[in-house]
């Protein structure tokens, strides 16, 4: 089967609107040429509507097939008009009657707009994204983690749709649409009303005020109901909102960054299927590069590399960074980047420090960054925790701690965002931190999402499981990092930006880790050290075990907080109490309810906000336990934060 974006195929994307038909030609996933708009009235006759479609196609020459964005109701599978309130004259007609029988795919116009902005524009990097199009009607679409929420016909689900929702003494579209504006201010169209408002015409200004009030009231309810992170606004009437009331606080609107091109890109992305993993073309690279950040540190790195030096690439992350599912080091993302560095700077010698550890997140990463990464004096670092962290404040703080530790060490830092098979990751808060610190960022998630969403790429092409990229997918991530480095290299140098104040927290900038030989209990009553029978299998090499309730262990630490690490086990796992100084004890349960091939490393916060200094902790094994657990407990490490601990 031919790929939908092979070099031999030209695709004409059409956006069928109530006033105009917009179109553009694409080849190999690239925009070749935008074409003139063709007037098209949704209230026109069958002949008028059909001729507008034919004109739009004729001016494209001889495309191989069509990718059509069109409002609903519409039979998107079979290409048949079903709307009775607009395009009523062609209700029941097949689109092929007007297109000369060209192969065509169809997508709801609001979904096309959202898909275009989600993959190429203002919706990138958000989990729960809504989109509204303001024009002849009121279009709405919604996606969670990149998944469009559709009904069986391919339109947005009823819970998403806005145009027909009860509002005041009618429906939403009675108040938020072109006809609502024209009712308040008779004119040829919204453009003319905006032009009148520009001159200060009080009736035009009042029309836009009413329109914006009703729109924002509808969107506030919609945002709360769908728990939206962001709403992207587009359509012909979008620009007139500047004459309305201010956007209410907390509504979190973003205006389209693609303007009228979003549905064309969305129609293209929704069309066809491909069978192979794509090479990173121009658009994939553009999607993946979220920021080049402040380039000064990188230009310093390039100058050193050109002069001939011993340089070290360091990587910090989880099992993806470690290389799970990719046994060939040269095909891992950092192997590809290392090869690029060697080819670009042959006078220098490059080595790798791989500080990736499977099944661990940035909490543990922040505790071990000094020992496992920065102690090796890396000259360039890649940080990868987008699939291991959770989108919650705790991980935002520890991720920021990793960033601050690396930057304080003077390293140029790249952020890499991978993804799960459900197309979700934690790049939402991680990109916010990246922008705050002026860091270059690459999203493998954004690079592959379009292919996954339109079905042109199956997850099985990328990974043998739910998360770990195979060699080809790892190599793709590496090529995207190389493309970012090439872009940075071509940019002009600039003054270095000082490390800014923390955005969320500075708690994890200074950490300590008591693990392996550095953990020295003061007393062991009923606990015994177990070095482990499989020293290569786990990240921990020593641990302490107890099974008799009442067993006690004490140790001291210097810092302002305490975390402990233990093995989570689906079996006879027990509970402990942890008392720090005279504070109330904190309970920790090591029962792990999920299936996991090995004992699972766990970290539990015990106390935060302690006064800086030395503290004493007492761990006691309890008799009480989870109903399916027992009284066995494996203690692995202690860690925490605090500036005093870093001295």
Per residue in 253-267, pLDDT tens? 999 988 789 999 999
Contact of 540 with 586, CB cutoff 8 Å: no
- Topology (CATH level 3) of domain 10-106: Nucleotidyltransferase; domain 5 (3.30.420)
**Residue 633 near residue 566 (C-beta atoms within 8 A):** yes
Mean pLDDT for 365-381 is 97
Q: Which of 423, 403, 424 is nearest to 413 (CA)?
A: 403
Residue length of the chain: 647
- Superfamily of domain 122-255 in the CATH hierarchy: ATPase, nucleotide binding domain (3.30.420.40)
Indicate the SS3 state at residue 616: strand
How many helices (H) and strands (E) in the chain? 16, 31
Query: What is the CATH code for 510-646?
Result: 2.60.120.260
**Model pLDDT for residues 450-498, shown as the tens digit of each residue:** 888 777 777 877 887 789 998 889 999 999 999 999 999 999 999 999 9
SS3 content of the chain, % helix, strand, coil (to 5): 35, 25, 40
pLDDT at 532 exceeding the cut of 90: no
Domain with CATH 3.40.50.1110 in the chain: 282-507
Three-class DSSP category at 554: strand
Nearest Cα neighbor of 104 from 273, 272, 274 is: 272
> Looking at the chain, which residues constitute the CATH 3.30.420.40 domain(s)?
10-106, 122-255
Residues 6 or more apart in contact with residue 14 via CB below 8 angstroms = 21, 22, 23, 53, 56, 57, 66, 67, 68, 69, 70, 264, 267
CATH topology for 282-507 is: Rossmann fold (3.40.50)
User: Hunting for tokens 């043998």 — which residue is that?
Assistant: 464
> Is residue 544 packed enough to be buried (19+ CB in 10 Å), middle (13-18) or exposed (0-12)?
buried
Alpha carbon distance 3, 28 (integer Å): 9
Q: What are residue 524's DSSP bridge partners?
A: 553
How far is the C-alpha of 169 from the C-alpha of 175, rounded, in Å? Answer: 10
**Dist CA 319 CA 162 (whole Å):** 43
Q: What angle do CA 442, 447, 452 make, to 5 degrees?
A: 145
Residue 597 has pLDDT above 80, yes or no: no
Residues 630 and 573: beta-carbon distance below 8 Å: yes
Q: What angle do CA 534, 535, 541 make, to 5 degrees?
A: 130
Instruction: Please tell me the predicted confidence (pLDDT) of residue 123.
Output: 87
Residue range 175-179: mean pLDDT, rounded:
91
What's the pLDDT at 21?
Answer: 95
Instruction: Determine the pLDDT at residue 539.
Output: 47
pLDDT of residue 465: 79
pLDDT for the residue 646: 60
Query: Does residue 592 have a pLDDT over 50?
Result: yes
Instruction: Provide the H-helix boundaries in 59-108.
Output: 96-99
Going across the sheet that includes 441-443, the strands are 289-291, 441-443, 413-417, 380-384, 310-317, 349-356
In angstroms, the CA 115 to CA 269 distance is 7
At 631, is the secondary structure helix, strand, or coil?
coil
Q: For residue 541, is pLDDT > 60?
A: no
Please report, to the nearest 10 degrees, the dihedral formed by the alpha carbons of residues 409, 414, 415, 419 taken in order: -140
pLDDT of residue 537: 38
Residue limits of CATH 2.60.120.260 in the chain? 510-646
Query: If you average pLDDT over every residue of the chain, what do you get?
Result: 89
Whether the per-residue pLDDT at 274 is higher than 90: the answer is no
pLDDT tens-digit readout, 6-60: 446 899 999 998 889 999 999 877 889 999 999 998 889 999 999 999 999 999 9
């Amino acid at each position: 089967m031919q790929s939908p974006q092979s070099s031999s195929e030209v695709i004409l994307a059409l956006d069928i609107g109530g006033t105009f038909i917009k179109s553009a030609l694409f080849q190999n996933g690239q925009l070749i040429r935008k074409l003139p708009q063709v007037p098209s009235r949704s209230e026109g006759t069958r002949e008028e509507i059909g001729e507008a479609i034919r004109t739009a196609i004729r001016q494209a020459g001889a495309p191989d097939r069509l990718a059509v964005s069109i409002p609903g109701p519409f039979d998107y599978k079979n290409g048949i008009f079903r709307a009775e309130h607009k395009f009523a004259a062609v209700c029941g007609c097949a689109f092929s009657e007007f297109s000369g029988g060209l192969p065509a795919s169809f997508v709801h116009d609001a979904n096309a707009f959202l898909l275009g902005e989600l993959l190429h524009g203002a919706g990138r990097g958000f989990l729960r994204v809504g989109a509204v199009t303001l024009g002849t009607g009121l279009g709405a679409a919604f996606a969670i983690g990149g998944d469009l929420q559709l009904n069986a016909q391919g339109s947005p689900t009823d819970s998403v749709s806005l145009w027909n929702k009860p509002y005041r003494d009618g429906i939403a579209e009675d108040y938020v649409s072109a006809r609502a504006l024209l009712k308040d201010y008779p004119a040829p169209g919204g453009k003319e009303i905006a032009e009148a408002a520009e001159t200060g015409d009080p009736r035009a200004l009042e029309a836009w005020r009413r329109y914006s009030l009703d729109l924002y009231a509808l969107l506030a309810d919609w945002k709360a109901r769908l728990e939206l992170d962001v709403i992207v606004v587009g359509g012909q009437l979008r620009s007139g909102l500047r004459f309305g009331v201010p956007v209410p606080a907390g509504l979190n609107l973003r205006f389209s960054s693609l303007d009228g091109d979003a549905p064309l890109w969305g129609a293209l992305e929704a069309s066809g299927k491909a069978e192979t993993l794509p090479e990173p073309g121009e658009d994939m690279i553009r999607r993946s590069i979220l920021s080049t950040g402040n380039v000064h540190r990188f230009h310093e790195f390039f100058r050193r590399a050109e002069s001939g030096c011993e340089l070290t690439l360091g990587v910090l992350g989880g099992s993806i960074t470690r290389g799970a599912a990719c046994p060939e080091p040269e095909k891992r993302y950092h192997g590809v980047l290392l090869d690029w560095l060697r080819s670009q700077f042959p006078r220098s010698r490059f080595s790798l420090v791989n500080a990736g550890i499977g099944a661990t997140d940035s909490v543990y990463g922040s505790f071990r960054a000094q020992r496992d990464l920065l102690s090796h004096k890396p000259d360039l670092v890649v940080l990868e925790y987008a699939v291991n962290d959770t989108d919650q404040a705790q991980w935002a703080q520890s991720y920021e701690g990793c960033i601050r530790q690396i930057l304080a060490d003077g390293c140029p830092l790249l952020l890499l965002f991978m993804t799960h098979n459900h197309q979700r990751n934690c790049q939402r808060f991680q990109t916010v931190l990246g922008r705050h610190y002026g860091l270059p960022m690459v999203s493998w998630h954004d690079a592959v999402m379009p292919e996954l969403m339109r079905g042109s790429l199956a997850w099985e092409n990328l990974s043998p499981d739910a998360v770990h990229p195979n060699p080809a997918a790892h190599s793709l991530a590496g090529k995207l990092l190389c493309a970012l480095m090439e872009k940075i290299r071509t940019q002009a140098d600039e003054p270095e930006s000082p490390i800014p104040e923390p955005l969320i927290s500075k708690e994890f900038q200074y950490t300590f880790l008591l693990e392996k030989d550095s953990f020295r209990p003061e007393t062991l009553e009923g606990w015994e050290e177990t070095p482990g029978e499989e020293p290569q299998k786990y990240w921990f090499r020593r641990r302490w075990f107890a099974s008799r309730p009442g067993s006690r262990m004490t140790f001291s630490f210097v810092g302002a907080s305490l975390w402990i690490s233990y093995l989570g086990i689906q079996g006879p796992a027990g509970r402990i109490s942890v008392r720090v100084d005279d504070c109330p004890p904190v309970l920790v349960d090591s029962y792990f309810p999920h299936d996991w091939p090995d004992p699972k490393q766990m970290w539990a916060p015990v106390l935060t906000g302690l006064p800086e200094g030395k503290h004493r902790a007492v761990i006691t094994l309890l008799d009480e336990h989870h109903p399916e657990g027992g009284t066995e407990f494996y203690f692995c490490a202690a860690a925490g934060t605090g500036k005093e601990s870093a001295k």
